[in-house]
């Protein structure tokens, strides 16, 4: 290379780190902000940007909340590796903890709690003490969690500075989310401490039960888990607690439902009134059934918990066995769990129905599932003595289909039935012997050999059957060899003729000389010595009466079952193991705080690893980017129980048994405004249908009125809903009695969401098909209101509302003028909106206009932030909304205009 080629080894570029350093020290705010974003991006993908620590810390002195969050996020990540430099940030933390903005105060104390550096911990105490008594509830609830983090770093410091007492005082706070976070923090501290720290008294019990009604779903979970550890003084107090907790069973979040179930089950142990216990069992059935309509993963968690519940209280779901029938598209792990529960719920009353299901499963294509189904039939026979004969008939029918693995599994379970009912069903042995040639699995062979040996005196050609197995004795697996050895000895003792004598010589020789298996060899020697010294004693040993096997469907020890029930809705109840069997450390997970701090009402403590069956809090945009981090520990929110969805045009062939029936104790007579006619009598050959979608007690119903203006009685009413924007489907069959001419009947049909969602832009059209036994299928459209879907959990705190509004992009804001609307009274308008679950946040005056701010939420946690502007008494109202789903805005405006015009 010539001397001029040195230019290729030089560059004008400084490299990424020097360039970022330069931008971080820029005099322009926007440039510094972009540089910090680049640093965070590099940190996120795994690049080491710790050398920029000082430069990033210099950016902390800013009024820009977004930039401050980013810098704090960087500090949390690198403070441990740069403890000396992290001290540089302390003054800013302390200053920010006294900022007028509550979001910044909370941000500062939260970040200091997340930086696990001892030197910074010393400076955390004073700001934390102030924040625990802050005027703003958002700051208090953040500080409560920070105490738990500080306890993990330095427990003595927390006790010395009186933080535990301050935390206990927060249980009496007037803000329910502060109460919930205080409970969560105390529960976390109690887990890591050997001495009692958090004990619920009668006073705190009342506070917690009051807060339970108002806090968010995760707050409810923490409070319910804390209450489940409280031992009521007597049956009356237990009944009062249960009465206050029972409404949580209707919650959409499955974590809340399971925690409420756990709480109720534990308190039921103290309740002595059989009527109260019976009523509680009835109330727990529908929510447990509802859990089986969610995603398969949620179903599996629910089924594992239900498996425990039915072992303790089988009456809860004794009448709901149909909901455990397997669907064709269920994953195999869900099907297996459903089978287990069906076996536990099988009784003399429903066994015929159960056997029909099992028989159908035994003809499916999944081999493992088929084997499990066949084995389930046998377990039912062992469990129910009266049904044993019917179970055996089904097994014999399955054997006749000549499917190899079905036949082999049937023989395995029939062996157990013979042991359960000795000398009862031996007449079927001849049928079993016909399948000898098809046996190729060790367990099936061993079972058949056991049957032949056990009933050798009743099988004329028992010696020939066993001889066919002996030809391959050396190649057989140990399980088969051991059974062959014992069966041959039994045959010899029962029929000491020449044939069996020769066979026993061959078997004993093979088992002692030709084998390397010590178990087989030792057993053969024992038999040989018994037979050669005292044949009568050999009979007493080998042909002794065997213990009768028992039902194993409730196989858990009662003490273990009680421990698992106390851990419902945790991993323990999914694994069916006590926590200490799989948790090797006292602290199971190192919690990390969400980086984007201000959120609606999650309390910054939503990633509890103990709630495997939970649903994440309603995601706001401010925490959406961290949803992926939460996902492993919080499953998706669960809608109410969906029903299977047959094709809309296949109503004539529908069978009521195919519906997932959800028992809902609701009045049959709808109340409220008159229903709209959706099918006039002129169109429906005398049948007139009026209907309207309504919301009542947190549940959606289709209120319907059927009028028979024809000359003939009408019966056999059925309904089906086409795919729609909200996936509405019936949660059970249509309950309409036979209609005589000139009579009418009304009903409230419980509905579920997200069962058969249609693609495309959202709309409010609900296409319905109704049929009866006398008329063709009638189709009609109904126009539904979006307001029906607004949930009772839509209330937000002011700070959360403001932060969420700011965090949503401008493109998500949609506004419209409603010129025909007159707001005559602010209070009356707010009252009307509140009746549709639109919750008042704040109001202000702008010139002569009233500006109202409200929040609402539709299922799956999608918030609606609403701004209404109007002059009282003058026509014209402007409505603006911000939501993560702006495509829903036209539906909202249409529903709002209809509501305010009334």
Question: What is the three-state SS of 195-213?
Answer: CCCCCCCHHHHHHHHHHHC
Q: Is residue 316 pLDDT above 80, yes or no?
A: yes
> In this structure, what token pair is assigned to residue 556?
């858990």
- Cβ(222)–Cβ(614) under 8 Å? no
- Cβ(322)–Cβ(662) under 8 Å? no
- Cβ(706)–Cβ(734) under 8 Å? no
Integer CA distances (angstroms), 370 to 189, 335, 363, 375, in order: 48, 11, 7, 9
Give the pLDDT band (50/70/90) at residue 588: very low
174 burial level (CB within 10 Å; 0-12, 13-18, 19+)? exposed
CA 392 to chain CA centroid, Å, is 37
- Cβ(334)–Cβ(299) under 8 Å? yes
Give the pLDDT band (50/70/90) at residue 78: confident
Threshold 0.75, pTM exceeds = no
pLDDT of the residue at 3: 54
Lowest mean pLDDT among 139-143, 656-660, 704-708, 801-805: 656-660
Mean pLDDT over residues 377-400, rounded? 87
Give the pLDDT band (50/70/90) at residue 554: low
Which residues are CB-contacts of 28 (< 8 A; sequence separation ≥ 6)? Answer: none
Distance CA 41, CA 22 (A): 17
pLDDT digits (tens, 9 = 90+) for 255-312: 888 888 888 888 888 888 888 888 888 888 888 888 888 888 888 998 998 888 888 8
Q: Is residue 347 pLDDT above 80, yes or no?
A: yes
Phi, psi of 795 (to 5 degrees): -75, 135
Mean pLDDT over residues 342-361, rounded? 88
> In this structure, what token pair is assigned to residue 161?
């500075």
Q: Which of 225, 223, 188 is nearest to 204 (CA)?
A: 223
DSSP H/E element including 71: helix 65-78
pLDDT of the residue at 605: 33
pLDDT of the residue at 611: 37
Distance CA 244, CA 205 (A): 11
Mean pLDDT over residues 163-180, rounded? 86
- Cβ(603)–Cβ(218) under 8 Å? yes
Angle made by CA atoms 160, 165, 170, in degrees to the nearest 5: 140
Q: Is residue 13 pLDDT above 80, yes or no?
A: no
Q: Is residue 187 pLDDT above 50, yes or no?
A: yes
Distance CA 132, CA 726 (A): 43
DSSP H/E element including 176: helix 176-191
DSSP H/E element including 695: strand 687-696
Give the pLDDT band (50/70/90) at residue 584: low
The residue among 390 and 435 whose pLDDT is bigger is 390
- Cβ(644)–Cβ(732) under 8 Å? no
Mean pLDDT over residues 658-666, rounded? 34
Which residues are CB-contacts of 215 (< 8 A; sequence separation ≥ 6)? Answer: 176, 177, 179, 180, 223, 601
pLDDT of the residue at 408: 85
DSSP H/E element including 276: helix 274-290
SS3 of residue 228 by DSSP:
coil
- Cβ(619)–Cβ(861) under 8 Å? yes
The residue among 821 and 647 whose pLDDT is bigger is 821
Distance CA 177, CA 253 (A): 17
Integer CA distances (angstroms), 11 to 4, 6, 14, 15, 20, in order: 14, 10, 8, 10, 17
Which residues on adjacent β-strands are paired with residue 816? 879
The residue among 300 and 430 whose pLDDT is bigger is 300
Sign of CA dihedral 417, 422, 424, 428: positive
Distance CA 520, CA 508 (A): 10
Distance CA 453, CA 487 (A): 4
Lowest mean pLDDT among 57-66, 270-279, 345-354: 57-66
Angle made by CA atoms 241, 244, 246, in degrees to the nearest 5: 105
Lowest mean pLDDT among 253-262, 508-517, 727-736, 858-867: 508-517
Mean pLDDT over residues 742-755, rounded? 89
pLDDT of the residue at 854: 93
Q: Is residue 73 pLDDT above 90, yes or no?
A: no
Question: How much of the chain, in percent, has pLDDT values that exceed 70?
Answer: 87
pLDDT of the residue at 490: 87
- Cβ(71)–Cβ(49) under 8 Å? no
Q: Which residue has the tokens 């290379």?
A: 1
Mean pLDDT over residues 633-660, rounded? 36
Distance CA 551, CA 549 (A): 7
Q: Is residue 597 pLDDT above 60, yes or no?
A: no
Helix, strand, coil % in the chain, rounded to nearest 5: 55, 10, 35
pLDDT digits (tens, 9 = 90+) for 787-846: 898 988 888 888 888 888 888 888 889 989 888 888 888 888 898 898 889 999 988 887
Give the pLDDT band (50/70/90) at residue 612: very low
Which residues are CB-contacts of 663 (< 8 A; sequence separation ≥ 6)? Answer: 285, 286, 289, 319, 320, 732
Long-range contacts, stretch 67-73, CB < 8 angstroms, 24+ apart = 67/29, 67/32, 67/33, 67/36, 68/96, 68/104, 68/107, 69/107, 69/595, 69/596, 69/597, 70/33, 70/36, 70/37, 70/40, 71/36, 72/107, 72/108, 72/111, 72/595, 73/40, 73/595
Phi, psi of 529 (to 5 degrees): -70, -40
DSSP H/E element including 743: strand 743-752
pLDDT of the residue at 586: 42
Distance CA 180, CA 170 (A): 9
- Cβ(20)–Cβ(35) under 8 Å? yes
Question: How much of the chain, in percent, has pLDDT values that exceed 90?
Answer: 8
Distance CA 362, CA 370 (A): 4
- Cβ(325)–Cβ(333) under 8 Å? no
- Cβ(489)–Cβ(527) under 8 Å? yes
The residue among 740 and 430 whose pLDDT is bigger is 740
DSSP H/E element including 707: strand 699-708
Sign of CA dihedral 416, 421, 425, 426: positive
Phi, psi of 361 (to 5 degrees): -60, -30
Angle made by CA atoms 751, 755, 761, in degrees to the nearest 5: 105
Distance CA 421, CA 428 (A): 13
The residue among 705 and 460 whose pLDDT is bigger is 705
Instruction: Please give the mean pLDDT across all residues of the chain.
Output: 79
Mean pLDDT over residues 706-711, rounded? 91
Render the burial of 801-819: b for 16+ CB within 10 Å, e for the rest: bbbbbebbeeebbbebebe
pLDDT of the residue at 632: 36
pLDDT of the residue at 407: 87
Q: Which residue has the tokens 């089978």?
A: 339
pLDDT of the residue at 553: 61
Q: Is residue 595 pLDDT above 60, yes or no?
A: no
Lowest mean pLDDT among 367-381, 538-552, 754-768, 866-880: 538-552
pLDDT digits (tens, 9 = 90+) for 483-536: 888 888 888 888 777 677 788 888 888 888 877 888 888 888 888 888 888 778
Task: Give the ranges where 324-441 is alpha helix by DSSP (H).
Answer: 332-345, 351-361, 367-383, 388-400, 404-420, 429-433
Q: Is residue 660 pLDDT above 80, yes or no?
A: no
- Cβ(261)–Cβ(279) under 8 Å? no
Give the pLDDT band (50/70/90) at residue 596: very low
Distance CA 596, CA 599 (A): 8
């Amino acid at each position: 290379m010539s001397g001029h080629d040195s230019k290729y080894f030089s560059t004008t570029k400084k490299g990424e780190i020097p360039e970022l350093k330069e931008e971080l020290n820029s005099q322009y705010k926007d440039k510094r902000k972009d540089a910090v974003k680049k640093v965070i991006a590099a940190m996120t993908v795994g690049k080491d940007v710790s050398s920029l620590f000082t430069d990033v810390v210099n950016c902390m002195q800013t009024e820009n909340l977004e930039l401050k969050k980013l810098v704090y996020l960087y500090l949390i990540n690198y403070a441990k590796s740069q403890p000396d430099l992290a001290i540089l940030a302390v003054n800013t933390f302390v200053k920010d903890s006294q900022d007028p903005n509550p979001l910044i105060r909370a941000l500062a104390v939260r970040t200091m709690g997340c930086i696990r550096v001892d030197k910074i911990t010393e400076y955390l105490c004073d700001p934390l003490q102030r924040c625990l008594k802050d005027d703003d509830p958002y700051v208090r609830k953040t500080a409560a969690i920070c105490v738990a983090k500080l306890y993990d770093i330095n427990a003595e410091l927390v006790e010395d500075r009186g933080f535990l007492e301050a935390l206990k005082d927060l249980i009496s706070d007037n803000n329910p989310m502060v109460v919930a976070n205080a409970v969560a923090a105390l529960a976390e501290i109690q887990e890591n401490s050997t001495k009692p720290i958090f004990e619920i008294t009668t006073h705190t019990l009342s506070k917690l039960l009051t807060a339970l009604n108002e806090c968010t779903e995760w707050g409810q979970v923490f409070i319910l888990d804390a209450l489940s550890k409280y031992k009521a003084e007597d049956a009356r107090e237990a009944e009062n607690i249960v009465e206050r907790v029972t409404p949580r069973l209707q919650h959409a979040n499955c974590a809340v439902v399971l925690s409420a179930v756990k709480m109720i089950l534990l308190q039921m142990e103290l309740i002595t009134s059989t009527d109260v216990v019976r009523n509680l069992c009835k109330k727990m059935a529908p929510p447990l059934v509802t859990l089986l309509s969610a995603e398969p993963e949620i179903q599996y968690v629910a089924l594992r918990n239900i498996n425990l519940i039915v072992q303790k209280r089988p009456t809860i779901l004794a009448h709901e066995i149909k909901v455990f029938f397997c669907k064709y598209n269920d994953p195999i792990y869900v099907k297996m769990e459903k089978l287990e529960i069906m076996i536990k719920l099988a009784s003399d009353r429903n066994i015929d129905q159960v056997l029909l299901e099992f028989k159908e499963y035994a003809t499916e294509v999944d081999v493992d599932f088929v084997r499990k189904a066949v084995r389930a039939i046998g377990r039912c026979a062992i469990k129910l003595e009266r049904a044993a004969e019917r179970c055996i008939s089904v097994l014999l029918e399955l054997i006749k289909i000549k499917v190899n693995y079905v036949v082999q599994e049937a023989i395995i379970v029939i062996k157990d039935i013979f042991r359960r009912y000795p000398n009862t069903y031996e007449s079927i042995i001849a049928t079993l012997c016909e399948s000898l040639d098809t046996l190729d699995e060790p367990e099936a062979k061993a079972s058949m050999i056991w049957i032949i040996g056990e009933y050798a005196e009743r099988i004329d050609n028992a010696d020939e059957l066993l001889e066919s197995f002996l030809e391959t004795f050396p190649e057989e697996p140990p399980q088969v060899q051991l059974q062959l050895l014992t069966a041959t000895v039994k045959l010899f003792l029962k029929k000491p003729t020449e044939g069996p004598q020769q066979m026993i010589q061959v078997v004993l020789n093979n088992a002692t000389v030709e084998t390397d298996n010590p178990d087989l060899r030792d057993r053969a020697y024992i038999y040989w010595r018994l037979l050669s010294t005292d044949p009568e004693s050999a009979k007493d040993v080998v042909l002794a009466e065997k213990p009768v096997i028992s039902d194993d469907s409730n196989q858990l020890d009662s003490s273990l079952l009680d421990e698992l029930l106390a851990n419902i809705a945790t991993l323990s109840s999914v694994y069916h193991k006590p926590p200490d069997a799989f948790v090797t450390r006292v602290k199971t997970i190192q919690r990390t705080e969400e980086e984007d701090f201000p959120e609606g009402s999650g309390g910054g403590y939503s990633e509890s690893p103990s709630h495997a069956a939970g649903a994440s809090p309603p995601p706001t945009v401010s925490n959406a980017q961290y949803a992926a981090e939460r996902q492993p520990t919080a499953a998706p929110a669960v809608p109410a129980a969906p029903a299977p969805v047959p094709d809309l045009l296949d109503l004539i062939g529908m069978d009521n048994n195919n519906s997932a029936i959800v028992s809902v104790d609701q009045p049959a007579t709808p109340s409220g405004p008159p229903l709209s006619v959706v099918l006039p009598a002129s169109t429906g050959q005398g049948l007139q249908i009026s209907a309207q979608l309504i919301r009542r007690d947190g549940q959606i119903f289709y209120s319907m009125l059927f009028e028979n203006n024809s000359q003939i009685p009408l019966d056999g009413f059925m309904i089906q809903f086409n795919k729609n924007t909200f996936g509405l489907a019936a949660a059970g069959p249509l309950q309409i009695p036979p209609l005589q001419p000139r009579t009418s009947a009304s009903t409230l049909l419980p509905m579920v969401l997200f069962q058969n969602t249609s693609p495309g832009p959202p709309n409010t059209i609900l296409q319905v098909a109704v049929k009866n036994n006398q008329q063709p299928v009638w189709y009609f459209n109904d126009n539904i209101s979006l307001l029906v879907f607004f949930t009772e959990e839509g209330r937000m705190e002011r700070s959360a509302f403001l932060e969420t509004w700011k965090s949503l992009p401008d493109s998500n804001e949609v506004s419209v003028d409603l010129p025909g609307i007159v707001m005559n009274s602010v209070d009356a308008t707010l009252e009307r909106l509140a009746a549709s679950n639109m919750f008042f946040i704040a109001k202000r005056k702008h010139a002569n206009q009233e500006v109202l701010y409200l929040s609402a939420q539709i299922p799956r946690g999608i918030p609606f932030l609403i701004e209404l502007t109007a002059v009282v008494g003058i026509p014209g109202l402007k409505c603006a909304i911000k939501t993560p789903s702006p495509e829903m805005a036209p539906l909202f405006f249409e529903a709002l205009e209809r509501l305010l015009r009334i």
